[in-house]
Structure 1
């Protein structure tokens, strides 16, 4: 084989390797999203309840100021 054919063969091999790596990354990304989906849902639930938690803690603060001997 001459140098040009060898380079073309290497180029083809590298392009196949790159394509395989892309497929593996895509599969890993999909697996990662599936594995972390419950955590993401829980986090979004906490974020959606954050305003209610602030209101509740404010009410508890006001109540504890008005009734200091309860605790």
Structure 2
């Protein structure tokens, strides 16, 4: 897959409060730990998951998720 088409995701673990709304909106993108916190490392997704990635980031009340399209 072409690297430029990937969407990069970063989660600020200091800001994440465990609301789990990101995972509810984007279950194939955002993985939570047993306590409900998003502990995923910096990652990227292809075009097939971009809409889900945006939905999860938009659902976060703490704005702990940033998305970057290179």
Into which bin does the TM-score normalised by the smaller protein fall? under 0.3
Whose helix proportion is higher, 1 or 2? 1
- Whose radius of gyration is greater, 1 or 2? 1
TM-score of the aligned structures, taking structure 2 as reference length: 0.25
Whose strand proportion is higher, 1 or 2? 2
